[in-house]
Structure 1
Amino acid sequence: MRREARPLAVLRWAGLTALGLFTALPLYVMGVTALRPLEDVRDGFAWLPARLTPEAFGSMWSTADLAAHFANGALVASCSAALSVLIAVFAAYAVSRYRFPGRELFRVAVLTTQVLPGVLFLLPLYLIYASIGRATGILLQGSPFGLIIAYSTFSLPFSILLLVGYFDTLPRELDEAALIDGASPLGALLRVVLPAARPGIAAVAIYAFMAAWGETLFASIMTDAGSRTVAIGLREYATESSAHWNEVMAASLTVSLPVVAGFLLLQRYFVRGLTAGALR
């Protein structure tokens, strides 16, 4: 048995090593490029550069309005994640706990939206926003609020499906015990079910935040100079005549920190939430 287990262990470690290198090499290239002077970067990539300087991490804030783009991206991603979680919790709880006409049709409709590419919704959504602006004077085009609404609707289907699967794993006795103690259905959800569903909610929040933080297609069309997010703001480091590649890499590493930090802080909830939803 040991002879059979040893090759499997070697293969496992070889696979993990290859996966680690596949993940680490791009980060190494980005880090090395960010720490090299621009003139050295233009000469070509060097695995062991002769000169390293953190200058790009300081100049990237003045070359482009990165702070404003960072704030816009954080506002849009945080609000869209919060809105997605809020709606998904109530929708998923209703589907998981109640039987109503059209329940299965609703689940199929939600699942069907996941197979449609997002680019199909770009022009219709743009026209809807333009029509709302003409009719009411509310400008959603070129506004962070327009992106918040769009990103929330895009992440809702997966969020609902994931939370339905997670709520299904929670025993109904939790709800029944709360109702017997005098809680309303809403009180049972808020006081009993939601604390037990924190891993699933964390998974939904991280997913919605990541989807909004790095999205470029809708952000490039539905933002203006004052509402650009970080994914679009990175383009400002390149002009028709030159490109500040070291600052591009430095800015890319910097704007990745919120997602990485959030994932590391909520990693155990994220993994448990995805596992419970997938197993269901």
Structure 2
Amino acid sequence: MYRAFRALALAALALFTLAPVYVMAMSSVKPLRDVQGPFTWWPSEITFAPYVEMWRTVPLAAYFANSAVVALCAMTCSTAIALFAGYAVSRYRFRGRRAFLATVLSTQMFPGILFLLPLFLIFANVDRLTGLELINSRAGLTVTYLTFSLPFAVWLLAGYLDSVPRELDEAAEVDGATPLGALFRVVVPAARPGIVAVAVYAFMTAWGEVLFASVLTDQDTRTLAVGLQAYATQANVYWNQVMAASLVVSVPVVLGFLALQRYLVAGLTAGAVKS
């Protein structure tokens, strides 16, 4: 009885999860009149024109490149900084260590919109004083996303590195390795799941963000999350092209997530139970 109930519950959950994906896929091959009319589960005719026209309606390739560059840079910087910070917190005992971790994690409790105006003013002053052009640039958006992902990344990686035995570091140092050499030669291979979890988290945080990307970018630096809104014009909303574009840009991210899923689960599980 329990197995039947569990199978039924899992089937209902899978149906609930896959139904939006099915609607998106079917809407992407519908003519525009079908999408704008009453909802139907199956198109009156199947057409792949939206997959061709979506590249012409908006500069989708440029938006995809902007999102990829910003997300990859934010992921790389966040992972590298969190690795050194997490290693220092995990391996060295200093006054205020626990308070530092609690303060870092507490920043995640504030809604992101609170930082929108302060960040914009900081970037505007930096642009005025130094000419770095952080507003309407990929660099400014990358720095913005670091402020979102880095606190949790440091906390998570410090917790995961606590689960790596210190004897590995000591054995490496006995063999003549420096602390930095022990980090890269011994600790990093053992902490690969935690590092992958941090990288995936940082990438996903930057990939799908809308609010800051809509304020800190212009036409040339716009990301996918904002650029998909360009399919809505004053005269019409090309919903079939929106669905086609959403499906196309989601495939690489989904495939990458599935490939790294086991590392992500292992990293989150181990890091969540350590202080």
Q: TM-score range by the shorter chain?
A: over 0.9
Matched residue, 1:49: 43
- Contact 2:28–2:243 (Cα < 8 Å) also in 1: yes
Q: 2:102 aligned with 1:108, yes or no?
A: yes
2:241 pairs with one of 205, 224, 247: 247
- Contact 2:27–2:43 (Cα < 8 Å) also in 1: no
- Contact 1:35–1:55 (Cα < 8 Å) also in 2: yes
- Gaps of at least 5 residues in structure 1 are 1-6
Matched residue, 2:64: 70
- Contact 1:80–1:209 (Cα < 8 Å) also in 2: yes
SS in 2 for 1:36: coil
After TM superposition, the structure 1 = structure 2 runs for residues 4-153 of structure 1, keeping only pairs within 5 Å, are 7-153=1-147
Matched residue, 1:3: none
- Contact 1:33–1:45 (Cα < 8 Å) also in 2: no
**Offset, 1:44:** 2.2
Instruction: Provide the C-alpha distance between the structure 2 equivalents of 1:133 and 1:250, rounded to a whole number of angstroms.
Output: 38
**Offset, 1:41:** 1.5
Matched residue, 1:217: 211
In the superposition, the TM-score normalised over structure 2's length comes to 0.98
The code of the aligned residue for 1:173 comes to E
**Offset, 1:257:** 1.6
Deviations 1:57-115 (A, max 9, x none): 11101101000000000000000000000000001111111101221111111111011
Identity of aligned residues (%): 58
1:205 pairs with one of 196, 199, 206: 199
Matched residue, 1:230: 224
In the superposition, the TM-score normalised over structure 1's length comes to 0.96
**Offset, 1:11:** 2.4
- Contact 2:25–2:244 (Cα < 8 Å) also in 1: yes
Q: 2:267 aligned with 1:273, yes or no?
A: yes
Number of residue pairs matched by the alignment: 274
- Contact 1:81–1:205 (Cα < 8 Å) also in 2: yes
The code of the aligned residue for 1:236 comes to A
Moved more, 49-58 or 138-147: 49-58
SS in 1 for 2:46: coil
- Gaps of at least 5 residues in structure 2 are none
- Contact 1:84–1:153 (Cα < 8 Å) also in 2: no
Q: 2:269 aligned with 1:261, yes or no?
A: no
